[in-house]
Structure 1
Amino acid sequence: MNTPDPDTTTTGPVPASEEAQREVVDLCAELIRFDTSNPISNERACANWVVARLAEAGIDSELIESAPGRASVIARIEGADRERGALMVHGHLDVVPADASEWQVPPFSGEIRDGYLWGRGAIDMKDTVAVMLATARHFARTGTRPSRDLVLAFLADEEAGGKFGGHWLVEHRPELFDGVTEAIGEGGGFSFAIDDTRRLYPIENAQRGMAWMELTATGRAGHGSSPNDENAVTDLAESLTRIGRHTFPVRLIEPVRALLAEAARLYGVEFDEDDIEGSLARLGPVSDFMQVVLRNSANPTMFQAGYQTNVIPGRATARVDGRFLPGHEQELIDTIDALLLPSVSREWVNHDLAMETTFDGALVDAMCDAVRAEDPDGHPVPYCNPGGTDAKAFTHLGIRCFGFKGLKLPHDLNYGRLFHGVDERVPLEGLRFGVRVMTRLWQSA
């Protein structure tokens, strides 16, 4: 970035301008109109547009292609205290595909309707990318410096694991992140209604690990009319049924315990760690929200075998999506291996770490303060993300990662169902709220 003129740089906290709160909606709509479906399309055109929007405000950036069309953008903004470690703010440009026949509006139209901006990526995560752009442009226009150096990362390929995005950059261009000690990205900072007036804001400080695996059953090929006690299809199907019907034990990690305890306090009910299921039953909608991070999980998702009805194949394969809590990876592996029949082998398709960091320090305080300043009825809490994000890549560089976007949602909106779902949309006021929160955070973090 071209450093703001010291003579015009504002020294006190600068609130988000009306212009920034207006333009975040337009920026998000334009982002949605780029079809960056992964793996159908790519990010190059959208990345070019991001570079242009930053350049309009005098912010220098670099566009990096990891493969033809697979483009990420990195920009660095100088902060007031250059002795401190830099803060990275990251978001991804790709989205999952959408079937237009299922939607009320064309999924890449960026249409505004009923107080929402509709389209694929509206909450995952072109909303956050738009907030990043609007806030950066606001800082440049007003000469406002962040409290420390900022690295803005607009990334490719997150929806497919980051092979051409975050992980590629960490492996091939780690110098782009020199001096970065902490990062915020997707996975937290959205509101969750406790009642009509109070909201939790889960801030991600943990993620379950990823253990995608391919299972292969080897048997004896033969005619479909003949008995066969070495049928690869049967053995694999039985193994998958065992996995799919297995319930892993509850493992209460600290971020989950802290969130449940705070929810119980707000509801005015008892939280008993020795009776998790009973405690959850007293926590209303929080129960459904938190079930997925109470334990490891493994779900069969794909099955492939055979080529003709009257031929028993000698081989069958399947995919399983395994996820493990921090500290409980070996439990997942040992359990899966015990559930497999002897004729079934396992190999990794995508295997990545679980993450957990403590919920303390200046950055955590700044995120909590920014939320409370804009929503006095908001209650920030630690949170374990059941899935995975680009933060996994940056953790390999020793960067302390959090999930925080600053998004206030209507009480009746089921946020979780919109991820990768039909009629994905983001409230316009939620986008404006995000700019206000991020403007505060960048000046205080």
Structure 2
Amino acid sequence: MSPGAPGAVTAETVQEAVDLLKELVALDTTNPPGDEIKAVEHIKPLLERDGAEVRVFESAPKRGNLWARVKGRGSAKPFLITAHLDVVGAKKEGWESDPFKAEERGGYLYGRGVLDDKAMAAAGVTVLRLLARSMAPLERDVVLFLSADEEAGSGQGMAWMLKNHPELLEAEAVLNEGGRIVIENGRITHAAVQNYEKLYLDVALSAEGPSGHSSMPRPGDAITRLSRAVARVGAYEFPVRLNQVTRAYFSGLSRLPAHPLGKEFSMLVSRKRGPAFREAVRKITSDPAYNAGLRTTCAPTVVQAGFRSNAIPSSARADVNCRVLPNDDPRKIVEKLREVIGDPAVKVSAGQAEKPALSPEDHPFFRCVRSVLGEMAPGAVTAPYMSAGATDSRELRRRGLNAYGLAPFPVTLGDEGRMHGDNERLMLSSVSFGLEFLYRLTVRFAAAPVPSDALRGP
């Protein structure tokens, strides 16, 4: 079945997706509490109306998860599309419009969740409806899973589903969020397909000291000790290290014509060392996104101390969130933080961090992504990508599933930076592109018979 076959994307189906996205934004699923069942109950009849099989799972009261399927011949394992229905909170005073009333303005759609991750949900629903309407001759089942609780660790969403109903998520490949199609200087330059994640590691710093009245301070108080420790942690930079994914990613970017950092990317992956290499690293890592992909980072995020302005507290605590390169040992990261702090009176403790799994680049699904992008954005590069942030893909990869992160909606890096922030927005033209991309990708992977041996990664 080709992209031009019955059920293909039209202006009418793009409008369906936009309308659904607006409706999902209006359903406030801020987590906590989530209340994703509202979105699930809104989507369920749409899918059923077109003939998709639908099941709803409440992992806890009002924590809704939706599973839907369009069946194929079953000659190959299913293709799974997943997105999450919960969103982070939004403070209305920072927005130019109501974050929970999607507004079209200047060619953009504004609203909480339009990027993270309700556009993916709306596109997934629309593609499944198209496949169900057209009764496409698929070799694989196409499964859609819309989850709860991604923004708070997935305990009521993906992790719950994998624990309780893993057979429903069995798939040859999974498409999730986590990667991006990037617009630079008005054109699509590349797709960063997430197939690896950094480790998530929480570290706690704590200090104790003499308490008393603020009019008579004594040396060694808890806040002063902790403040010095936090400042040292915040200023420290871990060394730059490349792994197989980041080397392939920056190698791909080095091939982009006229990229302002093209020469630096080439130097970074060249294995040469010296002043030119160090200068290239300096320029590249001045961008926070590139910096996060090249080194372990530790950022102070929460400080707790004191109870009134005229009292010196006896204790103080700070939370530090580290995103650790997969090849770095979390225990050594904690040891390095103790060394950097240089004060044995400041206690450093850490949670557990599980080494992430890798989804192979040498896989037919990845090649399908590259093929579709080449058709829709000639000259654009498709490269594997390691994300600094955590997604539900970590849960899938732990169970041996090949999960790939790519929100198919082209964005500028500036607009991507609005996720979780004020005035989150998505270009309306990107909704159209993303829906067409997802439809073509789904049809290409699910309709083409691929020998099982060819699907095995290295």
TM-score scaled by structure 2?
A: 0.86
Using the TM superposition, give the Cα deviation of residue 170 of structure 1 relative to its aligned residue in structure 2, in angstroms.
2.2
Tell me, in whole angstroms, the C-alpha distance in 2 between the residues paired with 1:404 and 1:145.
25
What code does the residue aligned with 1:292 have? Answer: A
What code does the residue aligned with 1:381 have? Answer: A
Question: 1:219–1:79: structure 2 CA closer, same or farther, 3 Å change rule?
Answer: farther
Tell me if structure 1 keeps the 8 A contact 2:217–2:312.
no
- The residue that corresponds to 1:248 in the other structure is 238
1:169 is paired with a residue whose SS is helix
What code does the residue aligned with 2:15 have? Answer: R
Residues 301-310 or 384-393, more deviating: 301-310
In angstroms, what is the RMSD of aligned CA positions? 2.6
- The residue that corresponds to 1:322 in the other structure is 322
Using the TM superposition, give the Cα deviation of residue 151 of structure 1 relative to its aligned residue in structure 2, in angstroms.
2.5
- The residue that corresponds to 1:302 in the other structure is 302
Q: Any unmatched runs of 5+ in structure 1? A: 1-9
TM-score scaled by structure 1?
A: 0.88
Using the TM superposition, give the Cα deviation of residue 63 of structure 1 relative to its aligned residue in structure 2, in angstroms.
1.7
Using the TM superposition, give the Cα deviation of residue 308 of structure 1 relative to its aligned residue in structure 2, in angstroms.
3.1
Question: 1:277–1:290: structure 2 CA closer, same or farther, 3 Å change rule?
Answer: farther
Tell me if structure 1 keeps the 8 A contact 2:59–2:157.
yes
Tell me, in whole angstroms, the C-alpha distance in 2 between the residues paired with 1:157 and 1:62.
18
Once the two structures are superposed, the pairs formed by residues 2-41 of structure 1 within 5 Å of their partners are 14=5, 15-41=8-34
Once the two structures are superposed, the pairs formed by residues 373-412 of structure 1 within 5 Å of their partners are 373-409=375-411
What do the CA deviations read for 1:53-109 (whole angstroms, capped 9, x no partner)?
2112222222222222222111233224x2423222110101111111221211111
- The residue that corresponds to 1:421 in the other structure is 421
Once the two structures are superposed, the pairs formed by residues 148-159 of structure 1 within 5 Å of their partners are 148-159=140-151
Task: Report sequence identity in percent.
Answer: 28
1:267 equivalent to 2:257? Answer: yes
Using the TM superposition, give the Cα deviation of residue 433 of structure 1 relative to its aligned residue in structure 2, in angstroms.
1.1
Question: 1:308–1:415: structure 2 CA closer, same or farther, 3 Å change rule?
Answer: closer
Tell me, in whole angstroms, the C-alpha distance in 2 between the residues paired with 1:130 and 1:231.
53
1:437 equivalent to 2:437? Answer: yes
1:339 equivalent to 2:340? Answer: yes
Using the TM superposition, give the Cα deviation of residue 384 of structure 1 relative to its aligned residue in structure 2, in angstroms.
1.3
Tell me if structure 2 keeps the 8 A contact 1:32–1:108.
yes
Tell me, in whole angstroms, the C-alpha distance in 2 between the residues paired with 1:209 and 1:398.
17
What do the CA deviations read for 1:116-167 (whole angstroms, capped 9, x no partner)?
2110101111111111011000111111144422321101111122122122
Tell me if structure 1 keeps the 8 A contact 2:36–2:63.
yes
What code does the residue aligned with 2:174 have? Answer: A
Question: 1:347–1:394: structure 2 CA closer, same or farther, 3 Å change rule?
Answer: farther
Using the TM superposition, give the Cα deviation of residue 430 of structure 1 relative to its aligned residue in structure 2, in angstroms.
0.8
Once the two structures are superposed, the pairs formed by residues 1-150 of structure 1 within 5 Å of their partners are 14=5, 15-80=8-73, 82-150=74-142
What code does the residue aligned with 1:339 have? Answer: V
What do the CA deviations read for 1:347-383 (whole angstroms, capped 9, x no partner)?
4467454343331110100111111122223221111
Tell me, in whole angstroms, the C-alpha distance in 2 between the residues paired with 1:281 and 1:224.
43
What do the CA deviations read for 1:383-434 (whole angstroms, capped 9, x no partner)?
111111111111221112110122224x6x7232221121111111211111
Tell me if structure 1 keeps the 8 A contact 2:189–2:256.
no
Using the TM superposition, give the Cα deviation of residue 174 of structure 1 relative to its aligned residue in structure 2, in angstroms.
2.4
Tell me, in whole angstroms, the C-alpha distance in 1 between the residues paired with 2:183 and 2:282.
17
1:414 is paired with a residue whose SS is helix
1:35 is paired with a residue whose SS is coil
Tell me if structure 1 keeps the 8 A contact 2:65–2:157.
yes
Q: Figure out how many residues of one structure are paired with residues of the other and give that number.
A: 430
1:257 equivalent to 2:258? Answer: no
- The residue that corresponds to 1:7 in the other structure is none
Once the two structures are superposed, the pairs formed by residues 124-203 of structure 1 within 5 Å of their partners are 124-177=116-169, 179-193=170-184, 195-197=185-187, 199-203=189-193
1:216 equivalent to 2:217? Answer: no
Tell me, in whole angstroms, the C-alpha distance in 2 between the residues paired with 1:19 and 1:114.
21
Tell me, in whole angstroms, the C-alpha distance in 2 between the residues paired with 1:288 and 1:222.
41
Tell me, in whole angstroms, the C-alpha distance in 2 between the residues paired with 1:238 and 1:250.
25
1:55 is paired with a residue whose SS is helix
2:426 is paired with a residue whose SS is strand
What do the CA deviations read for 1:11-61 (whole angstroms, capped 9, x no partner)?
997342443222111111111111111115421211111222211222222
2:181 is paired with a residue whose SS is coil
Question: 1:278–1:254: structure 2 CA closer, same or farther, 3 Å change rule?
Answer: farther
Tell me, in whole angstroms, the C-alpha distance in 2 between the residues paired with 1:231 and 1:173.
52
2:299 is paired with a residue whose SS is strand
What code does the residue aligned with 1:153 have? Answer: F
